[in-house]
Amino acid sequence: MTQKKNDTRQKILQAASALARESGPGNISLDAVAARAGVSKGGLLYHFASKKILLEALVEDFLIGVESELDAAEDAGPNAMLDAYISLNMRERLCRDPAASGLLAALAKDPQLLAPVGRYERGFLDRIRANATDPELASIAFFALHGLRSLELLNCRVLDDEETARFITALRHRLGLDEDVNAS
C-alpha cells in the first residue's frame, strides 16, 4: 500500500512539474495537475492538501534530486561532485526541460516557499568545496553555473548553444575536469 501511495505522489509531482514547464509556473492549477496525473482532484488533495503544499513538495523533490546526484559522486574522487553538478546542469539545459521550473512555480505563489533552497544550495556548495582540489575555483564555477541557469530560467538566453558549450568546455578545462573525463 505504501509503495502505491509513493508512486501516486511521484506521479502527481511529475505532472505538476511538466505543467509548470509547459504552461508557465504561475499557471498550475490543482485540477490540471490531477488530470495530467490521472488522479481525481480528491486523490490529489489526499497527497497534497493545498496548492501551497504541492509547490513545497515540488521544491523539495527538485532539491532531493540534486542531492542524490551529489551523493552518487561523493566517493568518486577529487572534483567528482563539481563534475556531477556541472553534468546535472548541462543535462537540464540540453533537454530544454529545466527541473527547476517547480522552483519558479513556488516563487510565483509564495516566495517564502524557497527558503529551503538557500539552505540546500549552501549545503551543496559546502560539499562541492570540500571535495574540490581548489575550493575557491569550485565556488566560482558553482556561481557561474547558477548565473547561466538563472538567466535561462528567466528566459533571458545570453549565450547560444555553441557559446554555452565553449563556456562549459573552458570551465571544465580550468577546473581540470577534462583530464578526469578523458582518463575514464
Cα 141 from Cα 145, distance rounded (Å): 6
- pLDDT for 90-109, tens place per residue? 877 766 555 555 566 566 66
pLDDT at 26: 65
29 contacts: CB under 8 Å, gap ≥ 6: 51
Cα 164 from Cα 174, distance rounded (Å): 15
pTM: predicted TM-score of the whole model, two decimal places: 0.69
Cα 75 from Cα 83, distance rounded (Å): 12
Please say whether the beta carbons of 98 and 152 come within 8 A. yes
153 contacts: CB under 8 Å, gap ≥ 6: 98, 100, 101, 103, 104
pLDDT at 51: 85
User: Amino acid letter at 5?
Assistant: K
Please say whether the beta carbons of 87 and 145 come within 8 A. no
- pLDDT for 83-93, tens place per residue? 888 888 887 77
- pLDDT for 143-159, tens place per residue? 999 898 888 777 777 88
Closest of 92, 82, 108, 89 to residue 181, by C-alpha? 82
- pLDDT for 3-36, tens place per residue? 777 788 999 998 988 887 777 666 678 999 999 9
